[in-house]
Structure formats: structure tokens, C-alpha cells
């Protein structure tokens, strides 16, 4: 997996001060995407164990609320496979910090057997998240007044509640 950027002090992509990882690679290619350079799976630099260690160090201070995964597309299967062991490390070390992810895929697509982007690690990766912002960015539904999303079709989902109920549950944060 490659990544385009890591921010160690981000307040735009989730609640509180966060560390954000912008992964590379996206097949959604939404019109009006604010990071089209990240569509390329080899954009940026390879994500190494040293990068993981740096993110863990940046997550250490008590004022950091958690980690956010975005891109590109964290839920491209190749990215899911690379992110799973890393997010497991984050959860083991910081069980009380939140993990958010942004995806252009919908909750329903992530659960539909036999379809892209679902793969053998999707359920495990989802189970490590607190909040999932799902759905493609739709230029015609762009709304700058929305909190943590760019278009009205996108949802902020409470992942533990959604998994327990077996259907999408809106995050009430």
C-alpha cells in the first residue's frame, strides 16, 4: 500500500485532534474529488513499518482523539489487507482512542458478498472502526455546511451499533 500524506494534527476529519492517513488508490474516481492524485495506487510513498511507528508515536499525546483513514480509498481490497494489521496495532495500543474511516463505498456495498470492494478482511477491519463516513462524493449534492462530509448522500455511521443491528445506524456525535 502507498500513501499520499500523514497529518499529525488534523481537526477536519473527525471529532477532536486526530492523526490522519491518506492512503493511495481509488477506483471510485468521484467527479469533483478533492484529492484526484490519490486515485493512483502507487501515488506517494510505500507505507512502511516505520510509518506505522511514527503514527503510533503521534497518537500518544492525550490531546489526540484518534486516527482517521481516508484517501484515496481505504476500502479498496489491497488497502484493507494492508490496513488491518496496522489498525489492530492502533487498537491494541490505544483502546480508548477512536478510529474513523472515510469511504466512497456504501455500508451495503461493504457487506454484499461477492462484490467489489468486499474481501476476506472487510468484516475484521470494519469491526475495528468507531465511525464510518460512507458513500461517494456526489458533486450535485455538494454541501459545505455538512459536518465531516462533502455531499448530502454521505452518511456518518456508528459502526459498533450498525454491526450489532445488522443495518446502518447514524452516528449521533
Segment 67-92, tens digit of pLDDT: 999 999 999 999 999 999 999 999 99
- Residue 12, all three cell numbers: 477536519
Q: Please state the φ and ψ torsions of residue 18, each to the nearest 5 degrees.
A: -135, 160
pLDDT at 71: 92
Sign (positive/negative) of CA torsion 25, 27, 29, 30?
A: negative
- Residue 34, all three cell numbers: 478533492
Question: Residue 89: inside a domain, yes or no?
Answer: yes
pLDDT over 70 percentage in the chain: 100
Question: Residue 109: inside a domain, yes or no?
Answer: yes
pTM: 0.96
pLDDT at 32: 82
Q: Which residue has the higher pLDDT, 157 or 29?
A: 157
59-65: average pLDDT: 98
* Sheet of 131-134, strand order: 45-46, 2-10, 17-23, 64-71, 98-102, 131-134, 155-158
Going by C-beta distance under 8 Å and a sequence separation of 6 or more, which residues neighbour residue 59?
Answer: 19, 66, 67, 90, 93, 94, 97
Question: Residue 27: inside a domain, yes or no?
Answer: yes
Question: Residue 29: inside a domain, yes or no?
Answer: yes
Q: Which parts of 14-141 are beta strand (E)?
A: 17-23, 45-46, 64-71, 98-102, 131-134
Please choose, from the candidates 126, 130, 127, 134, the residue with its C-alpha nearest in 3D space to the C-alpha of residue 98: 130
pLDDT at 35: 86
Question: Residue 171: inside a domain, yes or no?
Answer: no
Q: Any idea what the CATH number is for the domain that residue 90 is in? A: 3.20.20.70
User: Is pLDDT of 136 > 90?
Assistant: yes
List pLDDT tens digits, range 15-25.
Answer: 999 999 999 99
List pLDDT tens digits, range 26-52.
Answer: 999 988 887 889 999 999 999 999 999
55-71: average pLDDT: 97
Please choose, from the candidates 158, 161, 160, the residue with its C-alpha nearest in 3D space to the C-alpha of residue 134: 158
134-148: average pLDDT: 93
Look at the chain and report how many structural domains it folds into.
1
pLDDT at 63: 98
d(CA 89, CA 48): 14
Question: Residue 114: inside a domain, yes or no?
Answer: yes
Coil, helix or strand at residue 100: strand
pLDDT over 90 percentage in the chain: 93
Q: How many residues does the chain have?
A: 173
d(CA 63, CA 109): 34
pLDDT at 129: 98
Question: Residue 170: inside a domain, yes or no?
Answer: no
Amino acid at each position: 500500500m502507498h500513501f499520499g500524506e500523514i497529518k499529525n494534527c488534523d481537526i477536519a476529519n473527525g471529532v477532536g485532534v486526530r492523526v490522519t492517513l491518506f492512503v493511495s488508490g481509488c477506483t471510485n474516481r468521484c467527479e469533483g474529488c478533492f484529492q484526484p492524485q490519490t486515485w493512483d495506487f502507487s501515488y506517494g510513498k510505500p507505507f512502511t513499518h516505520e510509518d506505522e511507528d511514527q503514527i503510533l508515536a503521534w497518537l500518544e499525546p492525550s490531546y489526540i482523539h484518534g486516527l482517521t483513514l481516508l484517501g484515496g480509498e481505504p476500502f479498496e481490497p489491497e488497502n484493507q489487507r494492508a490496513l488491518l494489521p496496522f489498525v489492530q496495532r492502533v487498537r491494541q495500543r490505544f483502546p480508548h482512542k477512536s478510529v474513523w474511516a472515510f469511504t466512497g463505498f456504501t455500508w451495503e456495498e461493504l457487506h454484499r458478498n461477492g462484490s467489489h470492494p468486499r474481501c476476506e478482511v472487510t468484516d475484521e477491519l470494519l469491526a475495528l472502526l468507531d465511525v464510518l463516513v460512507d458513500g461517494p462524493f456526489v458533486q450535485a449534492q455538494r454541501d459545505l455546511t455538512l459536518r465531516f462530509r462533502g455531499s448530502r448522500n454521505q452518511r456518518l455511521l456508528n459502526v459498533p451499533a450498525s454491526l450489532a443491528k445488522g443495518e446502518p445506524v447514524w452516528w449521533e456525535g
